[in-house]
Structure 1
Amino acid sequence: MPTAIKMPALSPTMEEGTLAKWLVKEGDSVSSGDIMAEIETDKATMEFEAVDEGVIVSIDVAEGTEGVKVGTVIATLAEEGEDPADAKPADAKEAGAASAEAPQAEKSETKSEPAPEPSPASGSSLAPTKAPLPSGDRIIASPLAKRIAEQNGVDLSAITGSGPNGRIVKADVEGAPAAATSTTRTTSASTTAPESVAAASTTLPDFNIPHEDEKMGNVRKVIARRLTEAKQTIPHIYLTVDVQLDALLKLRSDLNKALEPDGIKLSVNDLLIKAQAKALLQVPKCNVSFGGDVLRTFKRADISVAVAAPSGLITPIIVDAGSKSLSVISTEMKELAGKARDGKLQPHEYQGGTASLSNLGMFGIKQFDAVINPPQAMILAVGAGEQRPHVVDGALAVATVMSATGSFDHRAIDGADGAQFMQTFKTLVENPLGLVA
């Protein structure tokens, strides 16, 4: 009996993905563990492995297809010894779709309101409020139709379904007249502001200028949505300090000489990761996450480090950076950065983190303000170390100085606490022996 291969959920938040590339073709034999395809999620491009052995009977979703829902049949596999000609991939596909739809359909027909959906990853523990549907006759609609209706502010009670037993399906909602639009859209505008702004900005000016349009990938779309959400919903406060780097650079040089036989070479960023983590542990009021009526304080410092990958910005995590040695941080960071650039990060390697670090010093950037990555409550932006006039031991001298700016979620972190964190970070960097203690 043929086996339906379905679109996997490669991360806890994944609802759909892009089938970026097939690495097998119809008629190929596969074994458990073979890489079958590359799938682009909202975070990275990941490899999809075969679970069973057999022969690929059909490829049901072409490579490059976007928006493939989790659970959709993407290919069909015939078992070992089975005649591929006897397999019926279309039937398998229909059966898979039916089995995925049946439980949801039954649930939809027993309630007149759509079930609550999880809130966006904004750090809030409160889900956005939904407008109740009118009481009376129950409304039968598919889960997809309900989701589209909610996103577009369409009143399902004003729509006549074209599906079985009058069930409202996707096509009914998308073709709903303007009169069916619910007046509750205005009341829920505050919870959908990021999406509304993103949608409003999709119309490009029609100037007569030579140009080239490139369709945005899933990662870039998520970056756009999350940064819009962060700037609109998080009150940022920015605090900047100038940090003298000479002692840190001297320590780095000495450590690299000692670690040279082991093939380890520390970067300035490795030491800054450790300094930020130790500062967070010393100022726990900044190692937090805002959750509406809950403020969560973390017991360890996991640092998300911004890495520029071909598909867009991604933040692999150095877990428990405050307790790790500089050599371990350096080794892990090189491995994670390489995987990020190749699109091979696993979900546990980029999901989470208690605070972020963004370093643009290698580009000669002197100072900048970074956008907080929710649900985190702070991000540290560091610029280039450069020779500047600086007061050293009460006298004017030339020193290597770096500007560092902390962006703090003012809902969770007071200005005084943010200032204490920046002062602690500055002290750790200027007296770096504490980083190896």
Structure 2
Amino acid sequence: MATQILMPALSPTMEEGTLAKWLVKEGDEVKSGQILAEIETDKATMEFEAVDEGVIGKILVSEGTAGVKVNDPIAVLLEEGEDASAAEAAPAAKSAPEEAPKSEAPKAETKKTGDAKPASPAPKAAGARVFASPLARRIAAEKGLDLSQITGSGPHGRIVKADLEGAKPAAAAPARAAEAPAAKPASPAPAMASGASAETVMKMFADRSYTEVPLDGMRKTIAARLTEAKQTIPHFYLRREVQLDTLMAFRATLNKQLEGRGVKLSVNDFIIKACANALQAVPDCNAVWAGDRILKLKPSDVAVAVAIEGGLFTPVLRDAHQKSLSTLSAEMKDLATRAKTRKLAPHEYQGGSFAISNLGMMGVENFDAVINPPHGSILAVGAGIKKPVVDATGEIKVATMMSMTLSVDHRVIDGALGAEFLKAVIDNLENPMAMLA
């Protein structure tokens, strides 16, 4: 039976993508795991693998097509022995967004004891589309299995051959639709405020010369997420200065010693390490907002903003508190390089509880950063500036001072707690040798 190949969701936030390039053509035989196409998401270009084997009967979406919705059909896969005419009769698939995983209720303990039994799969609603490979459908027909009662282990819940091994026919489940009370329509959520329409703005500048720049996927995502952030997150800001002279001298000594290994530490590497350690010292700040609850993380997963053409990435350095400065430096360089060519995998730029945005290298003395949800905070780092300061003895001297502003989600972190975290960051930077302990 011919089946449709659907636009995959290659990241949890993906709603649509661009079919950048087909790596197969109509009539090609494909095997499970073979790369079929390159797809541009809002953040990266990723490879899309075949789940089943068969023959490409028809390509429905030409390469270069933008705005293809997740779960929209993009091609038709034929079974062995089928001809191209079967592609026309392939079942239609409707575009439907992936259902977000439901959050679990808060648990008092994180450790598990004993062997947990897997939950029984919930039967699919009557009439719901069942996603299964052609081979799985054939096996189910031979065994008399009801695919709607099988939980798929393939991509996006697709039923594959392995899911049917050992399965036995079961009596059809009684229809319960009539018994279930009619669901009450959900109250519509209040719409977020938006600016003037494109037509309105364009009329304002009708007599002026301009170039219209359409938004790509990344720019649309940035616009949507940061609008959401400023409209829904109650930001507050904490500002401090840190004296860098001790760190600069320590960094110079370390870099001289590491020169033979080809390692050169940046000030940003020390800032990453200082923040990772501070999240461990003030664990209540290592947290994210999760709708109706707060999730407190144990590892220090630190996101760092990286500017690229047309937008930015925030690659995440996982377990940063456990890594040496040289390891963090090498990992950050690798992530930044691949971010600029959009070669990061989703797990490399999603997650973390906290982020760093450093514009000091561009001469910006101080600024306020916007929190990237669901993070609980973000640290905006300015340039190191030489200025007169009064030391502990009351003497005036010249010191290198760096401004830092912590943007905080007040739902997650209160003022005093944020101040404690910012103090821990400064203590680490002003006593850099302690970060090696």
- TM-score by shorter chain over 0.5: yes
Question: Residue 78 of structure 1 contacts residue 87 of structure 1 at CA under 8 Å; is this kept in 2?
Answer: no
* Deviates most, 260-269 or 416-425: 260-269
1:430, distance to aligned residue in structure 2 (A): 0.9
1:338, distance to aligned residue in structure 2 (A): 1.8
Question: Residue 242 of structure 2 contacts residue 402 of structure 2 at CA under 8 Å; is this kept in 1?
Answer: yes
1:97-121 per-residue CA deviation (whole Å, 9 max, x = no partner) reads: 2xx68xx9xxxxxxxxxx9975999
Which runs of at least 4 in structure 1 moved beyond 6 Å after TM superposition? Answer: none
Find the counterpart in structure 2 of residue 219 from structure 1: 218
Q: Equivalent residues in 2 for 1:337-352 (5 A)?
A: 337-352=336-351
In 1, distance between residues paired with 2:69 and 2:62?
14
* Deviates most, 59-68 or 18-27: 18-27
Q: Residue 313 of structure 1 aligns to a residue in which SS?
A: strand
What one-letter code is carried by the residue in structure 2 that aligns with 1:211?
Y
Find the counterpart in structure 2 of residue 254 from structure 1: 253
In 2, distance between residues paired with 1:55 and 1:291?
44
- How many equivalent residue pairs? 359
Find the counterpart in structure 1 of residue 313 from structure 2: 314
Q: Equivalent residues in 2 for 1:399-410 (5 A)?
A: 399-410=399-410
Structure 1 pair 22–274 and aligned structure 2 pair: CA distance change class (3 A): same
Question: Residue 2 of structure 1 contacts residue 87 of structure 1 at CA under 8 Å; is this kept in 2?
Answer: no
1:75, distance to aligned residue in structure 2 (A): 2.3
Q: Residue 385 of structure 1 aligns to a residue in which SS?
A: strand
What one-letter code is carried by the residue in structure 1 that aligns with 2:201?
L
Question: Residue 365 of structure 1 contacts residue 384 of structure 1 at CA under 8 Å; is this kept in 2?
Answer: yes
* Deviates most, 413-422 or 306-315: 306-315
What one-letter code is carried by the residue in structure 2 that aligns with 1:423?
K
Q: Equivalent residues in 2 for 1:412-423 (5 A)?
A: 412-423=412-423
Structure 1 pair 120–31 and aligned structure 2 pair: CA distance change class (3 A): closer
Q: Residue 216 of structure 1 aligns to a residue in which SS?
A: coil
Q: Equivalent residues in 2 for 1:40-189 (5 A)?
A: 40-51=40-51, 56-77=56-77, 86=84, 88-92=86-90, 95-97=91-93, 188-189=189-190
Find the counterpart in structure 2 of residue 428 from structure 1: 428
Find the counterpart in structure 2 of residue 19 from structure 1: 19
1:12, distance to aligned residue in structure 2 (A): 2.9
Question: Residue 46 of structure 1 contacts residue 343 of structure 1 at CA under 8 Å; is this kept in 2?
Answer: no
In 2, distance between residues paired with 1:413 and 1:364?
30
In 2, distance between residues paired with 1:4 and 1:269?
48
Q: Residue 66 of structure 1 aligns to a residue in which SS?
A: strand
Structure 1 pair 70–288 and aligned structure 2 pair: CA distance change class (3 A): same
1:20-57 per-residue CA deviation (whole Å, 9 max, x = no partner) reads: 33344445666665543222223333222345566644
Question: Residue 306 of structure 2 contacts residue 312 of structure 2 at CA under 8 Å; is this kept in 1?
Answer: yes
Structure 1 pair 244–289 and aligned structure 2 pair: CA distance change class (3 A): same
Find the counterpart in structure 2 of residue 153 from structure 1: none
Structure 1 pair 56–368 and aligned structure 2 pair: CA distance change class (3 A): same
Find the counterpart in structure 2 of residue 130 from structure 1: none
What one-letter code is carried by the residue in structure 1 that aligns with 2:46?
M
Question: Residue 279 of structure 2 contacts residue 285 of structure 2 at CA under 8 Å; is this kept in 1?
Answer: yes
In 2, distance between residues paired with 1:407 and 1:10?
30
Q: Residue 423 of structure 1 aligns to a residue in which SS?
A: helix
In 2, distance between residues paired with 1:116 and 1:343?
24
Question: Residue 56 of structure 2 contacts residue 77 of structure 2 at CA under 8 Å; is this kept in 1?
Answer: yes
1:294, distance to aligned residue in structure 2 (A): 2.5
Question: Residue 57 of structure 2 contacts residue 77 of structure 2 at CA under 8 Å; is this kept in 1?
Answer: yes
Structure with more of its chain in helix, by fraction: 1
In 2, distance between residues paired with 1:347 and 1:17?
14
Find the counterpart in structure 1 of residue 179 from structure 2: none
Structure 1 pair 34–397 and aligned structure 2 pair: CA distance change class (3 A): farther
Q: Residue 383 of structure 2 aligns to a residue in which SS?
A: coil
Alignment partner of 2:194 out of 189, 192, 197: 197
1:197, distance to aligned residue in structure 2 (A): 1.4
Question: Residue 198 of structure 1 contacts residue 228 of structure 1 at CA under 8 Å; is this kept in 2?
Answer: no
In 2, distance between residues paired with 1:250 and 1:47?
46
Structure 1 pair 371–59 and aligned structure 2 pair: CA distance change class (3 A): same
Q: Residue 197 of structure 1 aligns to a residue in which SS?
A: coil
Find the counterpart in structure 2 of residue 384 from structure 1: 383
Find the counterpart in structure 2 of residue 271 from structure 1: 270
Structure 1 pair 307–203 and aligned structure 2 pair: CA distance change class (3 A): farther
1:183, distance to aligned residue in structure 2 (A): 13
1:313, distance to aligned residue in structure 2 (A): 1.7
1:203, distance to aligned residue in structure 2 (A): 4.3
1:184, distance to aligned residue in structure 2 (A): 6.2
In 1, distance between residues paired with 2:186 and 2:40?
37
Find the counterpart in structure 1 of residue 372 from structure 2: 373
Find the counterpart in structure 2 of residue 295 from structure 1: 294
Q: Residue 372 of structure 1 aligns to a residue in which SS?
A: coil
TM-score by length of 2: 0.72
Find the counterpart in structure 1 of residue 133 from structure 2: none
Find the counterpart in structure 1 of residue 142 from structure 2: none
What one-letter code is carried by the residue in structure 1 that aligns with 2:87?
P
In 1, distance between residues paired with 2:400 and 2:406?
20
In 2, distance between residues paired with 1:268 and 1:33?
43
Q: Residue 63 of structure 1 aligns to a residue in which SS?
A: coil
Question: Residue 57 of structure 2 contacts residue 84 of structure 2 at CA under 8 Å; is this kept in 1?
Answer: no
Q: Residue 204 of structure 1 aligns to a residue in which SS?
A: helix
* Deviates most, 14-23 or 196-205: 196-205
1:371, distance to aligned residue in structure 2 (A): 0.5
Structure 1 pair 370–119 and aligned structure 2 pair: CA distance change class (3 A): farther
In 2, distance between residues paired with 1:400 and 1:29?
65
Identity of aligned residues (%): 54
